[in-house]
Amino acid sequence: AQSVTQLDSQVPVFEEAPVELRCNYSSSVSVYLFWYVQYPNQGLQLLLKYLSGSTLVKGINGFEAEFNKSQTSFHLRKPSVHISDTAEYFCAVMGSGGSNYKLTFGKGTLLTVNP
Amino acid sequence: DTEVTQTPKHLVMGMTNKKSLKCEQHMGHRAMYWYKQKAKKPPELMFVYSYEKLSINESVPSRFSPECPNSSLLNLHLHALQPEDSALYLCASSQSGGLGDTQYFGPGTRLTVL
C-alpha cells in the first residue's frame, strides 16, 4: 500500500520569504505524486504532479517540487510567498497495482503567510 | 473549462431525512469520485465511478448511496445519517481514472446532520 507523510502540520512564514513543505512517500511500486492546495471553504486545486521524467516539476503560482527517489521525498518549494498563499497543502500519492484509482492524501500542512 | 460543480453548497438535515447531493462536470471525463472531508483532515475516498459503473466502494455505510445516471452527473443519496456524518463532501472527476490522471475537484457541499 502507498502512503505519504507530511512532516509539518503547520508552517508559518513571513511574506516574501522562501518556503518548503515536506512530503515523504512510502511505496513498493512505481508512484505518481501530487501536491494539491485547498483555500478556506473551497475544494482542492492541483498545484503540480510527478509522473516520470525530470525530477524537478514546476507548477502553478510559482510552486515547484523535486522528486527524490533515494530519499523517497517530494518536497514543495516556493522562493517567495504571498499572503494569498495562505492555505492547506496536501501531498498525495497514486500507486500502480490493486488500488490504481486511489489518491492517498497526507494529513496536510497549513501554510500561514504573515505580513 | 475545468470546472466541477456541486449543489447545494450547504445542507442541513435531520437524522430521518432523505436528501441528495449533486455533482456535474462537462469536461468529458469518464471517472468521477466522492470524497468525505472532516474538519482539519485530508479528504477520504468514498466511491469511484468509472465509465458510469461503480468501481470502488471504500466500505461506506449503506446510508450513503451513490448514483451515476450519465457520464456528466454523479449523485450521492443520503438517508438516516448520523451527526458524525457531518462533513464537507467533495466530488472530483478525471479523464479516465487511469494512473496519473489529474483529479479535478468541486467546491464541495458542507453537510450538517442534526
**pLDDT per residue over B8-65, tens digit each?**
999 999 988 899 999 999 999 999 999 999 999 999 999 999 999 999 889 999 999 9
Chain-wide mean pLDDT for chain A?
A: 91
How many residues appear in chain B? 114
Q: Smallest Cβ distance to A43: which of B45, B100, B108?
A: B108
> Touching check for B104 and chain A: CB below 8 Å?
yes
Residue A97 pLDDT greater than 60, yes or no: no
| Min Cα–Cα distance to chain B from A38, Å | 10
Q: Which residue has the cell 527524490?
A: A68
Q: In terms of CA atoms, which chain A residue is nearest residue B57? A: A102
Mean pLDDT of B74-96: 96
Q: Say if residue A57 is exposed, middle or buried (CB neighbours under 10 Å; 0-12, 13-18, 19+).
A: buried
User: Within 10 Å of residue A33's Cβ, how many Cβ atoms?
Assistant: 24
Residues 6+ apart with CB under 8 A from A25: A2, A3, A4, A5, A31, A33, A72, A73, A74, A91, A93
Q: What is the DSSP string of B23-71?
A: EEE-S---EEEEEEE-TTS--EEEEEEETTEEEEE-S--TTEEEEEEET
Assign A96 a pLDDT band (cuts: 50, 70, 90): low
Q: What pLDDT was estimated at residue A99?
A: 54
CB B23 within 8 A of CB B75: yes
Nearest to A99 by CA among A7, A17, A28, A8: A28
Residue B110 pLDDT greater than 60, yes or no: yes
CB contact under 8 Å between A43 and B48, yes or no, is no
Name beta bridge partners: A13.
A113
Q: What pLDDT was estimated at residue B2?
A: 67
Mean pLDDT of B90-111: 92
A-chain CB neighbours of B102 within 8 Å are 34, 46, 49
User: Within 10 Å of residue A104's Cβ, how many Cβ atoms?
Assistant: 20
Q: What are phi and psi of A83, to 5 degrees?
A: -50, -40
Chains A, B: CB pairs < 8 Å? 52
B-chain CB neighbours of A43 within 8 Å are 4, 90, 92, 105-108
CB contact under 8 Å between B41 and A106, yes or no, is no
Mean pLDDT of A92-105: 76
Report which residue type is found at A5.
Answer: T
Residue A10 pLDDT greater than 90, yes or no: yes
A-chain CB neighbours of B90 within 8 Å are 43-44
Domain ranges of chain A: 2-114
Assign A1 a pLDDT band (cuts: 50, 70, 90): confident
Any idea which architecture A2-114 has in CATH? Sandwich (2.60)
Residue A102 pLDDT greater than 70, yes or no: yes
pLDDT in tens, A26-65: 876 778 999 999 998 889 999 999 988 888 999 999 999 9
Q: In terms of CA atoms, which chain B residue is nearest residue A10? A: B40
Mean pLDDT of A88-107: 82
| Min Cα–Cα distance to chain A from B82, Å | 22
Assign A94 a pLDDT band (cuts: 50, 70, 90): confident
User: Within 10 Å of residue A56's Cβ, how many Cβ atoms?
Assistant: 11
Residue B10 CA to residue A53 CA, distance in Å, equals 42
